[in-house]
Amino acid sequence: MIELFQMGGPLFMSILTIELAAVIFFAAKCFINKEHSVSQIKSAGLLAAITGILGQLIGLFSAFEAIQEIGFVSPAMLAGGLKVSMITTMYGIIIYVIAIILSLILKAKH
């Protein structure tokens, strides 16, 4: 897990982890205070998904820029780079799914 965190890039993976903490915070706030802040949970989750996609796009841009400078890159190296670029997107979407599940649970409770 730590290896994936490092491969995904410390900047975007840290931002995504903070956004996961925000999702959990808003869910706990809604559960404890019985406030209807379900939209905050969904918004924080959506922000995580978009941040993950942005991280992937910036990573792909950097990778394609390096490929352009080098000229030839083996297909295996290209596939490895594409795989690494998807880590932030997967993490962001997982956080969004968690946010949706938590919001559905809290809606059912109220």
SS (H, E, C) the chain: CHHHHHHCCHHHHHHHHHHHHHHHHHHHHHHHHCCCCHHHHHHHHHHHHHHHHHHHHHHHHHHHHHHHHHCCCCHHHHHHHHHHHCHHHHHHHHHHHHHHHHHHHHHHHC
Nearest to 15 by CA among 67, 50, 60: 50
d(CA 107, CA 91): 24
Residue 110 lies in a domain: no
Domain that holds residue 55: 9-105
Residue 58 lies in a domain: yes
pLDDT value at position 96? 97
Residue 3 lies in a domain: no
Entry pTM: 0.88
d(CA 32, CA 15): 26
pLDDT value at position 15? 94
Residue 75 lies in a domain: yes
More reliable by pLDDT, 45 or 70: 45
Q: Tell me what percent of the residues of the chain surpass a pLDDT of 90.
A: 50
Residue 23 lies in a domain: yes
How many domains does one find in the chain? 1
Q: Across residues 28-50, what is the average pLDDT?
A: 88
pLDDT at 102 over 90: yes
